[in-house]
Every structure is written in structure tokens, then in C-alpha cells.
């Protein structure tokens, strides 16, 4: 296309030069004669008409072709811009959908975390309650065992004191003859098997 335009422009330049030469030659012949109104107006009009004709014949198709090419490029760019705008609109809608989904997902996760926290809290409270019950039961059992042991110790101490007093009282009251009599009764009971 550029070659066609260059060829037409060179042809147009050659034609314009030819017409200018013709006009110059026409003026040169009539140097002795005064120029007439017809020749003085006719040559510039012919020159202009030739220029317009050459412009129309050679440059106008190139100009129309350049305009058509420019129109095609603009239409392509407009269609690209429309496609890019549609893609941007789709991407914006997708981003808005993702944002809404993320908000819902965040709320769902917050609900799950709250539910898990409540479940953990309830579980920990139950474990603490069971631990407290075990500690109370252990303390009660230990207290009962300590009480029983203390009671036994007290009874043993009382029994030892009672026995010590009885022995002391018996030593004071028993005589040698009472002791011999008790020994004889014990030996006879052993022999007869009548121990009560």
C-alpha cells in the first residue's frame, strides 16, 4: 500500500511539474503581447483543475484507503476495548463473589471457633468438677481413715492405760497367795480343757 501511495504521489508531482512547465511556456510566447483576460485567467484555472484532477485521480484513493485502514484499526481497538471491559466486569463480579464468599466463610469459621470454645469450656468445667469431686472423695476417705486410725490409737491408749491401772491396782490388792491360787486354777483349766 505504501508503494502505491508513493507511486501515485510521484505521478502527481510529475503531472504538476508538467502543467507548471506548460503554463510557463505559454507565458513565455506571449511576452510581446499583452496578456489577455482569457489567458491570464485560463492558465491558472487549468492549472488548478489539473491539480484537482491529479489529486482526485492519484491521491484520493490513497487517502480513502488510509481512512479505511484507520477505521479498521479503530474498530479493532474498540472491539478490544469492549472485550477488555467485559473481562474487567466479569473479574469485578468474580472478586465481589469471592469477597462475599470470604465474608460468609469468615462468619462460619467464627461460629465454629465459638462452638469449639464453648465445647472446650464445658469439657474443662466438667473435668474440673470431676477433679473437685475426686479430691473431696479422697479428702473424705482420708479424713475417715485418719479418724478411724485416731480412734484406734485413742482406744489402744485407753486400753493400755486401763490395763496399766488394773495391773497396778491388782498388784496392790493381790497377795502372794492370790497369785498362786490363780496359777493353779489356770493350770487345772488347761489340763481339763475348760478355758473360758
Q: What is the DSSP string of 171-194?
A: HHH--HHHHHHHHHHHHHHHHHT-
Q: What is the C-alpha to C-alpha distance for residues 23 and 47, in angstroms, rounded to an integer?
A: 8
pLDDT tens digits, residue range 156-196?
887 788 778 777 776 777 677 877 887 888 888 888 876 66
Q: 10 Å Cβ neighbour count for 180?
A: 10
- Asked if 50 and 15 count as a contact pair (C-beta separation under 8 A), the reply is yes
pLDDT band of 17, cuts 50, 70, 90:
low
pLDDT tens digits, residue range 69-91?
999 999 999 999 999 999 999 99
Query: What is the DSSP-derived secondary structure letter of residue 32?
Result: S
pTM of structure: 0.34
Residue 34 main-chain phi, psi, to 5 deg:
-75, 140
Amino acid at each position: 500500500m505504501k508503494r502505491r501511495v508513493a507511486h501515485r504521489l510521484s505521478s502527481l508531482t510529475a503531472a504538476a511539474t508538467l502543467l507548471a512547465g506548460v503554463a510557463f511556456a505559454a507565458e513565455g510566447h506571449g511576452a510581446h503581447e499583452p496578456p489577455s483576460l482569457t489567458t491570464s485567467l485560463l492558465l491558472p484555472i487549468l492549472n488548478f483543475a489539473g491539480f484537482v484532477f491529479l489529486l482526485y485521480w492519484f491521491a484520493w484513493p490513497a487517502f480513502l484507503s488510509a481512512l479505511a485502514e484507520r477505521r479498521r484499526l479503530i474498530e479493532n481497538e474498540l472491539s478490544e476495548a469492549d472485550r477488555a471491559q467485559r473481562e474487567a466486569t466479569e473479574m469485578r463480579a468474580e472478586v465481589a463473589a469471592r469477597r462475599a464468599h470470604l465474608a460468609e466463610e469468615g462468619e462460619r469459621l467464627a461460629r465454629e471457633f465459638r462452638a469449639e470454645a464453648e465445647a472446650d469450656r464445658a469439657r474443662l468445667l466438667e473435668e474440673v468438677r470431676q477433679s473437685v469431686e475426686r479430691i473431696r472423695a479422697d479428702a473424705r476417705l482420708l479424713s475417715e481413715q485418719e479418724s478411724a486410725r485416731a480412734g484406734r490409737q485413742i482406744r489402744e491408749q485407753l486400753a493400755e492405760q486401763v490395763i496399766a491401772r488394773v495391773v497396778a491396782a491388782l498388784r496392790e490388792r493381790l497377795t502372794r497367795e492370790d497369785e498362786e491360787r490363780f496359777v493353779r486354777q489356770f493350770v487345772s483349766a488347761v489340763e481339763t480343757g475348760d478355758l473360758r
